[in-house]
Amino acid sequence: MKIITTIKTHCNKSLNYVCKRLIITTILLLNTIHSSDDIYESSLEDLLNMEIELKANVGSRSGSIDLHDARSPTDVITSEQIEHSGLTSLTDFLRYSVAGFNAPETSIADGSDHVRAFTFRGMSPDQTLILINGKRVHTSALLHVNGTIGRGSSGVDLDTIALKSIDKIEILRDGAAAQYGSDAISGVINIILKGMGHKNSFSIHTGQRKNGDGEQLFTDAFISLPFKYDGFVNVTISSKGQNATDRSGLDKRVSPATSTTNVGIADANSFNAVFNIEAPQKNDMIFYSYGLLNHKDSKANAFFRPKNDNENSVLLYSDGFLPRINAKIDDYSFSVGIQGEFNDISYDLSNVYGKNSLNLNVENSMNYTLGASSPTSFDNGTLEVSQNTVNLDLKKKFNNIDTAVGTEYRYEDYEIEQGDVNSYIGSASQGFAGYSPENTVYSSRSSYALYFDTTYHMNERLFLEGAARYEDYSDFGTTSNFKVAFGYKILQELLFRATTSTGFRAPSLSQSCYSQTSSFVDTTTGELSTQGTFKPSHEASLSFGAKELMPEESRHFSVGTVYQPTKNLSFMVDYFLTKVDDRITLSEELGAKTQEQIDIFALNNISKIRFFTNAINTKTAGVDIKFNYKCKFNTNSNLDFSAWFNYSKNDILGFNRTKEYKTVLPEQLDRIENGQPKTSLKLLSRYKYDDFDFVLNLNRFGSYQQAINNLAYTFNAEWITDLDISYKFSNGFNLAIGGLNIFNSIPNKWNGLSGTFYGADGIKPYSRYSPFGYSGAYYYVRATVEF
Amino acid sequence: MTKIFLIFLLVSSSSFAYESEDELKVVLTGKIAKFITWQGDGEAKFVITVIKNPYKNLFEKKYKNKKIKNKPVLIKYIDDISDLSFTNILYIPKVTSKELSSILKKTTQKNILTVSTMRAFAQKGGAVQLFFVSQKGRLKINLDVIKKENFKVKSSFIRISEVVKGMVY
């Protein structure tokens, strides 16, 4: 009986097993048949509503390539995703959409309050190359010198680009300096402007924070005019008014303790304009041009100066004062180019000129040295950077080999213009010292590059890529870099890929030439003493072993796989490793120790200095895991879901200069290694039902640390939820309501730190490193008209 | 676990997905024919000719055992326009402007529907142009060419297409 039961059970199990396998096989078969015939049986309207695969041009000069076939890890973000995000700045959009992209909102950090620094994979802002339509973008003139994420670097100001002008954003998660030159170490972001065929539209967006502040009014418009031979003139304009938020704690220096200082998002008004033109000619030649214009007036502040801060304070302010640090930013770029084909050789000749200017001025302040005669507002000087790049690219296909060669000439300059005399003499303007005549500088350099890129389609499954780039810089000399990549389709659905490359980042002119010094009265000697940032070539810096800055050098390796079992489902897993030697950092403030240093400091009335140096070697390693799924429930509803996890670990491997740097840099070291979340998870979903559109995005930012007085404090990981619900009326009118961080997640305050300025009970109760800020929930309505 | 997998597969089978751009171009070419009426077409087969075919065997795969206008579909490949024989549709993937000019001269007044994804194809004298904006296919139709070639076009096709008139070639 027992044997019969056992046999029965076994048979049932086997039958069950066979049945399940049969069902699975049938469904798979049906699925295959369904998919192969699906598209042919669809109506013309349905075919025109189908989305083709996402393709990117970045990462290879062989033309656009399906992301699932890309040999280097690549992602694409579409304009639809941008439109339904509820976000009004590109920096914010990337922060909430790209795992591993970080852009904290800083406060009381001088110029850094006005120009957001961003990082990719926890590396430096200047280690990500930004392109527009494949052309290099100039950086901001601002050098982040305060204790913020990105300290010591000048990155591109992404908020100078109007969101509505963007067709798609291509993100190359790979070292690519061998293809694009300097800066392409942690990745390349290529912003593609809208081309032909896009609808005209006008949008208005308004909202405010849950706390009732941070009101925003954002309007933008896109107009496209057709031109002969499918050419176009596209113009985008946008304006944004952003009111400040304030999450400050109590100031214990005043009695009774009260809130004296604004801590939060800066108050800013900005205007952006973008044009993109293509004028094809009868002979297939295309003249093209694009231009960007940005003006921003931004107002932030320093810490409050109580009336007992200085004996002269009461001469102008009986109850103390809050110095306002304002920035006027003007940014523009303009490109012209011509592309076409001659004897099967594609050519592209272009010139791009870009300039960024940042004027800093201080209001509601005083220069203590000037006493009652001190002005209350100051022009503190202007920083300017400009860049002109000429490129010639040639491409030709030889059977199954795509080749590209090119050359580039780049000229860049950097300038510091002094502030008005009252802003820097004596103890200088409170809040931010003006740039003095000693700080003024004009510096320029040029570089030539020659590059070669090839892709060998060995067969339908195996692809090999190679790239080499030689550059000659007028300041530091030559550098050659190489990249090899390969992709092998083990199955039609399964791609194995790997890349290895070398790279570099030329020291920015701002890092080489920046100086800002201010004076204060030494309480022991009663004399004015100078401290601040000095050029690496200053004799005080040289006494610490400073040298002319050299380029950072990097080595990169990535290996990964893409699995796409069905057209609607894909997985990507990529491991990456980037080692950077001679990474440039801004040293901490150093006092004289040796006799030579003491003599030099005395001669120059210097008390402390800091300077840029190729100080450290770092390693960045991690993994990106992506999952994409699309599902159609019926003709009226579909779901688009993606999950993206990033793990990035940054380690300092060694130091290049004297050991004392190591001992005086604990805060800086901790910022590089632990100041940003090591993990980031994005769960992005969009559900369309008839004319309704629901976007629900969940973001998990991992924990991070900030060190104060050599002690590291941990801030917890947080989930952020964004929701956007929109309805499209038949006349092209679209109405949306939504919220960012709708559940009002706030980072924890300093845990165990008590202090006047920084601390749970201090003026700044939250860390400035918070990857999602600390201003809380934001709710908005948006109306869009397409015509 | 198996149940979850089965549900997942069932859902997958009814899912929508990214389509291959090439596949969509090839299928749209034949789909357009349903909206066009050819003059006095007494041929037994519906012929699509592809000049300088870049799609390997994609046309054959997609039109195998398929019918257009109740006729079996015949795919022809040519490398030179001088080799053109009877065809209902001439698909022109990518050629130079100079080549296009001679191709269009060769097809004029022959009741051949020219289809291409080339930029400005409709303006340059082609009949139907396919192009892509934000990952979605769009159509342009040159009504003057359609009229000149004696085609009849369903109004529903004109409604979903951008209409081009005249030629700037």
Calpha distance A290→A382 (Å, rounded): 26
What percentage of chain A exceeds 70 in pLDDT? 93
Interface test with A, best of B6, B56, B135 (most A CBs within 10 A): B135
- Of residues A243 and B39, the one with the higher pLDDT is A243
**How far A48 CA sits from the closest chain B CA (Å)?**
5
Of B10 and A165, more confident: A165
Chain B residue numbers touching A633 (CB-CB < 8 A): 14
Q: Using 50, 70 and 90 to split pLDDT, how confident is the model at A11?
A: very low
Q: Which residues are within 8 A (CB) of A716 and not within 5 positions of it... i.e. 6 or more apart? A: A703, A747, A748
Residue A31 DSSP SS3: helix
Closest-CA residue of chain A to B61: A36
| Contact check, Cβ <8 Å, A198/B134 | yes
pTM metric for this prediction:
0.91
Q: What is the pLDDT of residues B128-164, one digit of tens each?
A: 999 999 889 999 999 999 999 889 999 999 999 999 9
pLDDT per residue as tens digits for the range A183-193: 999 999 999 99
Question: Which pLDDT score, from 0 to 100, does residue A23 have?
Answer: 44
| Contact residues, chain B, for A80 at CB < 8 Å | 134
Measured CA distances, A315 to A251, A319, A363 (Å): 22, 10, 16
Interval A720-744 mean pLDDT? 95
**DSSP-assigned beta bridge partners for residue A780:** A207, A738
A699-727 pLDDT per residue, tens: 999 999 999 988 999 999 999 999 999 99
Of B13, B66, B124, the CB nearest to A40: B66
Q: Is the pLDDT score of A18 beyond 50? A: no
Amino acid at A684: L
**Residue A64 confidence class, pLDDT cut points 50, 70, 90:** confident
Q: What is the band of A26 on the pLDDT scale with cuts at 50, 70, 90?
A: very low
Percent of chain A whose pLDDT exceeds 90: 78
User: B1 pLDDT band (50/70/90 cuts)?
Assistant: very low
Q: Report residue A465 as tokens.
A: 């890529």
Angle, helices A2-41/B21-32, rounded to nearest 10 degrees: 60
Q: Cβ contact (<8 Å) for B131 and A80?
A: no
Q: Return the pLDDT at B166.
A: 75
Contact A230 B119 (CB under 8 A): yes
What's the Cα-to-Cα distance from A485 to each of A68, A185, A479, A693, B155, rounded to whole Å? 15, 16, 20, 40, 51
With 0-12 CB in 10 A as exposed, 13-18 as middle and 19+ as buried, what is A74? buried
Pick B9's closest partner by Cβ from A31, A196, A633.
A31
Tens digit of each residue's pLDDT (9 = 90 or more) over A288-304: 999 999 999 999 999 99
Considering only CB atoms, B19 lies closest to which of A50, A198, A566, namely A50
Three-state DSSP class for A486?
A: strand
Residue A198: its chain B contacts at CB < 8 A? 133-134
Q: Does position A4 have pLDDT exceeding 60, yes or no?
A: no
Q: How far is B74 from chain A (nearest CA, A)?
A: 16
Mean pLDDT of chain A: 91
Q: In the prediction, which pLDDT does A525 show?
A: 66
Would you call A113 helix, strand, or coil by DSSP? helix
CA atoms of A111 and A108, how far apart (whole Å): 9
The sign of the CA dihedral B85, B91, B92, B94 is negative
Whether residue B124 and residue A229 make contact (CB cut-off 8 A), yes or no, is yes
Q: Which residues of chain B are within 8 Å of residue A632 when distances are taken between CB atoms? A: 14-16
Fill in the DSSP letter of residue A499.
Answer: E
For chain B, what's the residue count? 169
Q: Is B12 part of the contact surface with chain A (CB cutoff 8 Å)?
A: yes
Of B14, B34, B134, the CB nearest to A79: B134
User: Which is nearest to A357 in space by CA: A144, A140, A146?
Assistant: A140
Token pair of A511 as six digits: 């890092």
- Inter-chain residue contact A566 with B12, CB threshold 8 Å: yes
Each residue of A388-408: b (16+ CB within 10 Å) or e? Answer: bbbbebbbeeeeeebbbbbeb
Contacts of B32 in chain A (CB under 8 A): 44
**A613-644 pLDDT, tens per residue?**
998 999 999 999 999 999 888 778 899 999 99
Using an 8 Å CB-CB cutoff, list chain B residues near A50.
16, 19, 24, 136-137
**High-pLDDT (> 70) share of chain B, %:** 88
Does any CB of chain A come closer than 8 Å to the CB of residue B9? yes
Structure confidence at residue A506 (pLDDT):
96
What is the β-pairing status of strands B71-78 and B46-51?
A: parallel
- Secondary structure class of A408 (helix, strand, coil): strand
For A105-136, write each residue's pLDDT tens digit. Answer: 999 999 999 999 999 999 999 999 999 999 99
Question: pLDDT band at B10, cuts 50/70/90?
Answer: very low
> Looking at the predicted complex, does its ipTM rise above 0.85?
yes
pLDDT band at A176 (very low <50, low <70, confident <90, very high): very high
Average pLDDT over residues B68-86: 91
pLDDT attached to residue A25: 43
Among B98, B120, B134, beta carbon nearest to A230: B120
A454-513 pLDDT per residue, tens: 999 988 899 999 999 999 999 999 999 999 999 999 998 999 999 999 999 999 999 999
Write out the two tokens for B141.
Answer: 């139709």
Mean pLDDT for the stretch of residues A359-365: 97
Pick the residue from chain B with its C-alpha nearest to A340: B96
> Looking at residues A140-157, what average pLDDT do you find?
94
Residue partners of A190: CB distance under 8 A and separation at least 6: A56, A57, A58, A131, A132, A133, A134, A169, A170, A171, A172
What is the reported pLDDT for A236?
A: 98
- Could A45 and B157 be called an inter-chain contact, meaning their C-beta atoms sit closer than 8 Å? no
State the pLDDT at residue A661.
55
Q: Which residue of B has its CA nearest to A36?
A: B62
Per CB-CB distance under 8 Å, the chain A contacts of B34 are 44
Subunit contact A53:B31, Cβ cutoff 8 A: no
| Four-point Cα dihedral B62, B68, B71, B75, nearest 10 | -40
Q: Is the peptide bond before A677 cis (omega within 30 degrees of 0)?
A: no
- What lies within 8 Å, CB to CB, of A631 at 6+ separation is A568, A638, A639, A641, B11, B12, B14, B15, B16
pLDDT at A32: 41
Judged against a pLDDT cut of 80, whether residue B14 lies above it is answered with: no
Which DSSP helix (H) or strand (E) runs through A9? helix A2-41
Is the confidence at residue A101, as pLDDT, over 80? Answer: yes
Interface contact B15-A28, CB threshold 8 A: no
